[in-house]
Structure 1
Amino acid sequence: MSPTAPTSSQSTPEPPPPFDRAAVRPVIAGLMLAMFLSALEQTIVAPALAAIGRSLNDVENLSWVVTAYLLSATVATPLFGKLSDIYGRRAMMLIAVAIFLLGSLACALAPTMGVLVAARALQGFGGGGILPLAQTVIADILTPRERPIFQSYSSVMFMTASILGPLAGGFLTDYLHWSFIFWIMLPLGAVALAMTDRALKLIPRNDRPHKLDVTGAALMVVAAVLLLLALSWGGVRYRWGSFEIVALLASSAILWVAFARRISNAPEPFIPPSLLRDPLVALMMAAGFFSIGTIIGLSIVVPLYLELVLGFSASGGGIALIAYVVGTTLGSLAAGQLIARVPRYKRVPLTALPLSIAMFLLLAWQPAGWSLGGIGLVFVINGLGVGTMYPFTTVVTQNAIEPHLFGIATGTLNFFRQLGGAIIVAVFVAIVLGGFEGAEGARLLEMLAAHGGRGLERGANAAHFAPLFRWVFVSAALFLAIAMVAVILVEERPMRGPVTRVKPAE
């Protein structure tokens, strides 16, 4: 076997080289703006979908406007992480932002649905590279003890995008044209490109002269795309036992086996086997898969729950969802501060996750009959608990590895988070659609996606839908319990470095 870089506690990774603290804030500001653009594009499109379908005269393929972006962004995360370990963070961040802007321009000019879907895939490929690269740069310039505070700031960007995105998307679509949701990205992206270019010239370089394992990367990308397609179409477009879904799953499984063999035998594998063999890293991948995956899954099914069981209007449901986003953001920020300051940092998620599990069990026990204020409070408490896993999984993973592996490790962690979201969404949707016959459930989801629930008799069938969502919440509690077990089992390696003295920008 060829020697591999150690990641275990017997060989503590070297801390990052000293970095001028005066330069931290401009670097972080540039990264936050780039991350904001990526997050905003995931939320600004939804209010424009109906107008896009009418304008391009193609409602049947409308879901691909969202799906193409998510598929492309998911497979891009480990690829950009690996490339940044080889060619440097600045070069890959500039390429990611440039691809995102090129995709935005193509989306704005798209004359047909097919062109728009292809442009969204290009946009998603660039956007998918921004988050792991930003997290990796933070790891390059700060010690593990300093990172949680700054890593948690990304949650603020996502909260802001989650709130402003739908508002901006609706306003631009109603008063201008749906294409402006993409045009607006160009000036914002140009500013982000200039800021990151200037700021990232200051960061240290941990890249090494390696070759990209193109075969391994291709195997992983194709295997992931086939799996994600099966999870997106299963139970909605095709039955789970249909030839199309079985063929996609079988082909993906074969390619995953080939990928595993490739990283075991390649001279310079795409993902170093030592990374996945480290129990700490493997447990953090599992914790991110189930915890962050649950958050992603709930973002899809909770709007259905709010309308079908509680009978809320779109605006009422939006307020409840904002409460959940605020909760996860506050949980992430609080966890960042605590992890940076307490030596027994595992206690942060181990104290918080039971709150989320308890809230899910409460909703499972009583899924119906909640007021807007009551369900909003439940969602805030729920978010406070699970939000701690955002900085925890990132920082603990980066604390265990060598600086020249930061990119691929962070990209792989984000890949498993997104993959967990796709699989958990499929589980939740399968539970909800299990209460329908034939294609009735798929038509319901299409109606909700296209019309925001208009035309449904809100809350009239709560007695029918409530038992379905009871099992959704039981499943969510189970997934978080698995994530909690992973946190319990992980080794609590000391965080290196002092608590940061850099104050956040005013």
Structure 2
Amino acid sequence: MNATNFYPRPAGMTPREVRQILFGVLLTMFLAALDQTIVAPALPTIARDLHGFDSVSWVVTAYLLSATATTPILGKLSDLYGRKNVMVISVAVFLAGSIACALAPSMFLLICARALQGAGGGALLALANTIVADVVSPRERGRYQGYFASVFAIAGILGPILGGFFSEYISWTVIFWINLPIGLLAIWIARRALAHLPVKGIAHHIDYLGSALMATATVSLLLALTWGGHRFAWLSAPTLGLVLLSAVLYALFLRQQSVAREPVLPLSLFANPVIRMTSLLGFTVMVINIGATVYVPLYLEFVRGMNAYDSGLVLIGLMVGVVGGALITGQYMRFLGRYKAPPIIGVTAAAIGLFYLAYGSAARTNAEIVTVLTVTGLGLGTAFPAMMVSTQNAAHGGNLGIATANHMFFRSLGGAAGVAFLGAVIFGVLASHIDIDRGADLNDILQPGPVLTAVRPYLGDAFSAFFAAAGAVAVLSAIGFLFMKEVPLRQNAGQETPAE
């Protein structure tokens, strides 16, 4: 990496300091990216070992709940107290959660440990992207998408392979132990490299009430989305009560943000049309991406008859495709200073691929499935750098951390909603064919036993509906990109000004 190519550089920073910062960021990105890809292939094995098919989806949901609730708060703290301090604490919390996950003797304790892991892990990608924005201009970030994409490529390839291999041949606990050496190295590097980043020398006031309201409102909403249609009917008192509670808490949160001295989520951000649209698109794209990551392995194992290791190998196509799409958009931004065209084309291609799997998936060969998943990943991948860089390009320099964290918040919210929504689609199709206890969870249905035997003839139809629903969300996302305002990318680092 030739650091002399960075321009313009934040005042007072040498090329060597920029190089050290980016290396630390890349390592942190790898830690977060690996955790996103290594767990999915192991979920069926985890459920069998801990006798928790009825709650295995919470291994993903608990992490997303915690990450979603804490990401905006940690983004604000990084604006106030500096990226280094918040990054080191976040990695430490993530590692504590990883140890707790590996030692968990029951599904309940594993879910609690995943929530702790998410409290730290949720901030890692947001902080990494914010730090990149501190030292590289929006226009020039495209130049370095190759390095970032390489990190996700390695994680995308290693994650499914290692997750499937460890769970199939060694122990699923290794997927959490492996975080320790990487995380400790990340802390050591971050403490040294990120010390070069400046910290504001101003008095701070943390909006604790706003933070608590946002966290509880978000958890209430995601619980409603997760339990609705599964544990409780959509129109049942518990589900509607959670939705109502969430609405009241969000209303109180918005009022608090309008009067807080230093709001955790400045409402002025949403006066910007680019940030409004990227928040919505971050939500919808992650509905598809996380939904596919969670449910495609189940499709491969229960419909295609693959084991955890083989399903991990197939999932590589989706992961590598996402990286390739991000690389394409990065180079497009680098040379043209714009960002709309790649995601419009790419997300449309992803929609076509998902509909292709939806209609006639039983007749598709394994080679076709790998190809279509790769194309789908490629299409989704074009969206991620476009959304992130356009968000940062539109933000005030002083709000860069919270603007980035806000975008990651909506992405995390979309991921959790995607698990709930797409799981409900699969569950609904199965329930339309046979009598299923509405209090059951999808993974409860898929555990070995008479229920699985009864639903097996209908699993193909259920997953076809899953692919069709994901394709419909992709169509809506492509339309959103089409109407998103495009502002030429600026060439100043860490000093973004909002587009009116």
Pairwise TM-score range, normalised by the shorter structure: 0.7 to 0.9
Change (3 A) 1:319 1:176: closer
Name the CA shift for 1:164/1:147 in 2 (closer, same or farther; >3 Å).
same
> Does the Cα contact within 8 Å between 1:48 and 1:178 map onto a contact in 2?
yes
Counterpart of 2:268 (choices 271, 274, 284) is 274
What one-letter code is carried by the residue in structure 1 that aligns with 2:436? A
Residue aligning to 2:289: 295
Shift, 1:167, TM fit: 3.9
Structure 2 CA distance for aligned equivalents of residues 369 and 50 of structure 1: 25
Task: Give the deviation of 1:325 after TM superposition.
Answer: 1.2
Unaligned residue ranges in structure 2 (runs of 5+): 1-7, 494-500
Q: Is the 8 A contact 1:292 1:389 kept in 2?
A: no
| Residue number in structure 1 paired with 2:141 | 147
Determine if the alignment matches structure 1 residue 496 to structure 2 residue 494: no
Structure 2 residue identity aligned to 1:479: V
Alignment of 1:390 onto 2:384:
yes
Q: Which residue of 2 aligns with 1:446?
A: 444
The alpha carbon displacement at 1:163 in A equals 3.5
The 5 Å alignment of 1:52-451 reads: 62-110=56-104, 114-150=108-144, 153-169=147-163, 172=166, 178-205=172-199, 209-310=203-304, 312=306, 314-437=308-431, 438-439=435-436, 442=440, 445-446=443-444, 448=446
Structure 1 residues without counterparts, runs of 5 or longer: 1-13, 500-506
Aligned residues: 482
1:335–1:388 contact (8 Å) kept in structure 2 = yes
Deviations 1:413-437 (A, max 9, x none): 0110111122233222222111223
Q: Report the Cα distance in structure 1 between the residues aligned to 2:298 and 2:283, rounded to whole angstroms.
A: 23
Cα drift, residue 72 of structure 1: 1.2
Q: Corresponding residue for 2:3?
A: none
- Name the CA distance, whole Å, in 1 between partners of 2:422 and 2:194: 41
The 3-state SS of whatever aligns with 1:494 is coil
Question: What amino acid sits opposite 2:73 in the alignment?
Answer: L
Please report the RMSD computed on the Cα atoms of aligned residues, expressed in angstroms. Answer: 3.2
Q: Which has the higher helix share?
A: 2
Greater CA drift, 343-352 or 325-334? 343-352
Deviation of the 1:75 alpha carbon = 1.4
User: How far did residue 497 of structure 1 move?
Assistant: 1.9
> Is contact 2:28-2:186 (8 Å) kept?
yes
Cα offset, 1:292, TM superposition: 2.7
Tell me, yes or no, if the aligned pair for 2:144 and 2:330 is still in contact at 8 Å.
yes
Determine the C-alpha separation between the residues in 1 that align with 2:36 and 2:187.
Answer: 19
After superposition, the C-alpha distances for 1:195-240 in whole angstroms (9 at most, x for unaligned) are 1111111234468543121111111100111111222222233332
**Which residue number corresponds to residue 485 of structure 1?**
479
* Aligned AA (2:393): N
Q: 1:152 to 1:84 in 2, by over 3 A?
A: farther
In structure 2, C-alpha distance between the alignment counterparts of 1:53 and 1:316, rounded to whole Å: 18
**Alpha-carbon distance in structure 2 between the residues aligned to 1:146 and 1:313:** 43
Question: Is the alpha carbon distance of 1:176 and 1:491 closer, same or farther for their aligned partners in structure 2, counting shifts above 3 Å?
Answer: closer
Q: Relative to structure 1, is the Cα distance of residues 310 and 182 closer, same or farther in structure 2, using a 3 angstrom cutoff?
A: closer
Contact kept in structure 1, 2:164 and 2:312, CA below 8 Å: no
2:265 maps to amino acid: I
Answer whether contact 1:85 1:208 (CA < 8 A) is retained. Answer: no
Question: Residue 33 of structure 1 is aligned with which of 27, 30, 47?
Answer: 27
The two structures have a TM-score, normalised by structure 1, of: 0.85
